[in-house]
């Protein structure tokens, strides 16, 4: 491969991201070719519909309806898998890797579900798998963790990894608007998908957290092993309550590892952050990630985490690294060459070892003795109440009780929430948020 002077690239998928890659690569190609010392050609693109109108001009001779033909074409050296999902995307990726090709992907769901298989295929056949665009869009987070911070172990990585949720939460707070109203506007603007559940229920963030946990700790943690909670039940009242307590609300991925016990925790949930913290002030579709290393301390990364341009930027960055590898046998650290060290083989921390403070909002019957019964439930589960805010509820004859707690553990908190939901005076399921004492 070192003698190759013309590098051919094939795109599998020409949707939003694929069109962004085609557009920006065409604009940047002369500069990239000069910098890398090769002729770089976008040779073919596989699409679902050959007749569909697109925002970029692509010659009909370069289009095909057969993604596998692109993956197996011996004249194509770099395959960009931009299809999404875990079906044909997996088949295309494995087919390309089995032929020793370099695959560039933005597909976090694929990596989360089949990462071990993909990296094994790359090692077995001399291929490489690059995936900077799969986490945090245009922020070079994977390169930072994998290369720039290689001297570190990571006791804590946390941050905002989903721009859709961050946009919705930002607008709910700014406009004092309910979730359904802001969601509709986010869809109209193209910030939310027509089917929004993957984003707002936390699963997109969980896929990204799984990749980060593997990069940092060498262990695959599936979303079903994590705490994963979304933003659908948060109301404008929760933002007002949080503000009164000195907090903002963000959907966070939190990855922690206790190296003394070798236990790891990966969680995704809405979190109350101090209003003066950096992440609490990150608004709109932006992402922000705090990475704490045992050597470097804490580093922070902020930028556009999604969208055509941000994701295309990360894909093109991987393409440039892939070209450097093909021409010179060197470049960035290329995934697929080796597994990251397991660092002793961390195990998941049990719920009773996950400790923190909590925010609980209850809609209760507005009558004497209710608060006393709520306090009894909390006490029976060894949870100490730190503060209480009482206000009128939109439901007739009801009141809103907001409790914050002193530090307790997840197991006790779950038991208390189940018991509270069974109280006859509690009108709807409790809303539970965690308070992030993360210190960014």
Contact 333, 311 (CB under 8 A): no
Summarised one tens digit per residue, pLDDT across range 418-436 is: 999 999 999 999 999 999 9
Provide the pLDDT for residue 275.
93
Provide the pLDDT for residue 358.
98
Summarised one tens digit per residue, pLDDT across range 56-86 is: 989 999 999 999 999 999 999 999 999 989 9
Q: Taking 90 as the threshold, does the pLDDT of residue 401 lie above it?
A: yes
What's the whole-model pTM score? 0.89
Q: Which segment, 43-52, 319-328, 405-414, is predicted with the most confidence on average?
A: 405-414
Give CA torsion, residues 408, 410, 414, 417, to 10 deg: 40
The Cα-based distances of 12 to 23, 368, 430 in angstroms read 15, 64, 45
426 secondary structure, DSSP code: B
Read off the pLDDT band of 2 (50, 70, 90).
very low
Read off the pLDDT band of 330 (50, 70, 90).
low
Provide the pLDDT for residue 283.
95
Per-residue tokens: 75:
């004249």
Provide the pLDDT for residue 342.
45
C-alpha–C-alpha distance, residues 149 and 145, integer Å: 5
C-alpha–C-alpha distance, residues 384 and 166, integer Å: 31
How confident is the model over 141-158, as a mean pLDDT?
92
Give the closest residue to 412 by CA, choosing from 384, 374, 386: 384
Q: Taking 90 as the threshold, does the pLDDT of residue 392 lie above it?
A: no
Largest interatomic CA distance in the chain: 83
Read off the pLDDT band of 360 (50, 70, 90).
very high
C-alpha–C-alpha distance, residues 371 and 403, integer Å: 10
What percent of the chain shows pLDDT beyond 70?
Answer: 95
Read off the pLDDT band of 306 (50, 70, 90).
confident
The more confident residue out of 262 and 417 is: 417
Q: List active site positions.
A: 208
Provide the pLDDT for residue 439.
62
Q: How many residues does the chain have?
A: 440
| Span of 62-76, 279-293, 331-345 with lowest mean pLDDT | 331-345
How confident is the model over 360-373, as a mean pLDDT?
94
Provide the pLDDT for residue 122.
93
What percent of the chain shows pLDDT beyond 90?
Answer: 74
Read off the pLDDT band of 369 (50, 70, 90).
very high
Q: Taking 80 as the threshold, does the pLDDT of residue 345 lie above it?
A: no
Summarised one tens digit per residue, pLDDT across range 217-243 is: 988 899 999 999 999 999 999 999 999
Q: Taking 60 as the threshold, does the pLDDT of residue 341 lie above it?
A: no
Q: Taking 60 as the threshold, does the pLDDT of residue 336 lie above it?
A: no
How confident is the model over 274-286, as a mean pLDDT?
94
Contacts of 418 (CB under 8 A, 6+ apart): none
Provide the pLDDT for residue 333.
45
Contact 95, 312 (CB under 8 A): no
Tell me the pLDDT of the chain averaged across its residues.
Answer: 91
How confident is the model over 196-211, as a mean pLDDT?
95
In order, the DSSP letters of 5-56 are: -EEEEEEE--SHHHHHHHHHHHHHHHHHHHHHTSEEEEEEEE-S-TT---SS
62 phi and psi angles, rounded to 5 deg: -95, -5
List of domains in the chain? 6-137+308-328 (3.40.50.720), 141-304 (3.30.360.10), 351-435 (3.30.70.260)
């Amino acid at each position: 491969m070192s003698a190759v002077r013309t590098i051919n690239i094939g795109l599998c998928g020409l949707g939003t991201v694929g069109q962004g890659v085609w557009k920006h690569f065409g604009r940047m190609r002369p500069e990239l070719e000069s910098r890398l010392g090769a002729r770089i050609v976008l040779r073919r693109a596989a699409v679902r519909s050959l007749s569909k109108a697109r925002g970029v001009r692509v010659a009909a001779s370069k289009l095909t309806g057969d993604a596998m033909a692109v993956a197996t074409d011996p004249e194509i050296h770099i395959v960009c898998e931009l299809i999404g999902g875990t079906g044909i995307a997996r088949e295309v990726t494995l087919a390309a890797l089995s032929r020793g090709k370099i695959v560039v992907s933005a597909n976090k769901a694929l990596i989360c579900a089949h990462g071990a298989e993909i990296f094994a295929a790359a090692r077995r056949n001399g291929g490489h798998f690059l995936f900077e665009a799969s986490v945090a869009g245009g922020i070079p987070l994977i390169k930072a963790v994998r290369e720039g911070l290689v001297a570190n172990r990571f006791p804590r990585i946390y941050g905002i990894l989903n721009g859709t949720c961050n946009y919705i939460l930002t607008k709910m707070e700014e406009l004092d608007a309910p979730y359904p109203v802001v969601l509709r506007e986010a869809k109209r603007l193209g910030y939310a998908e027509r089917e929004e559940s993957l984003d707002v229920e936390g699963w997109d963030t969980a896929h990204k957290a799984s990749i980060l946990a593997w990069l940092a700790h060498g262990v695959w943690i599936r979303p079903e092993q994590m705490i994963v909670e979304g933003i659908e039940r948060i109301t404008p009242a929760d933002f007002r309550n949080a503000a009164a307590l000195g907090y903002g609300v963000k959907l966070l991925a939190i990855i922690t590892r206790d190296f003394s016990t070798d236990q790891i925790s990966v969680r995704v949930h809405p979190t109350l952050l101090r209003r003066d913290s950096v992440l609490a002030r990150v608004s709109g579709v932006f992402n922000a990630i705090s990475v704490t290393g045992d050597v470097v301390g804490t580093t922070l990364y902020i930028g556009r985490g999604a969208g055509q341009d941000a994701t295309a930027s990360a894909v093109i960055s991987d393409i440039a690294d892939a070209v450097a590898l093909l021409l010179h046998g060197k470049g960035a650290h290329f995934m697929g060459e080796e597994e990251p060290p397991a660092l002793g083989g961390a195990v998941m921390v049990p719920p009773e070892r996950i400790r923190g403070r909590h925010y609980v909002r209850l809609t209760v019957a507005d009558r004497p003795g209710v608060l006393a019964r709520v306090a009894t439930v909390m006490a029976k589960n060894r949870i100490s109440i730190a503060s209480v805010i009482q206000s009128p509820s939109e439901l007739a004859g009801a009141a809103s009780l907001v409790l914050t707690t002193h530090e307790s553990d997840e197991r006790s908190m779950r038991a208390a929430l189940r018991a509270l939901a069974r109280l006859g005076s509690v009108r709807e399921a409790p809303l539970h948020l965690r308070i992030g004492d993360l210190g960014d």
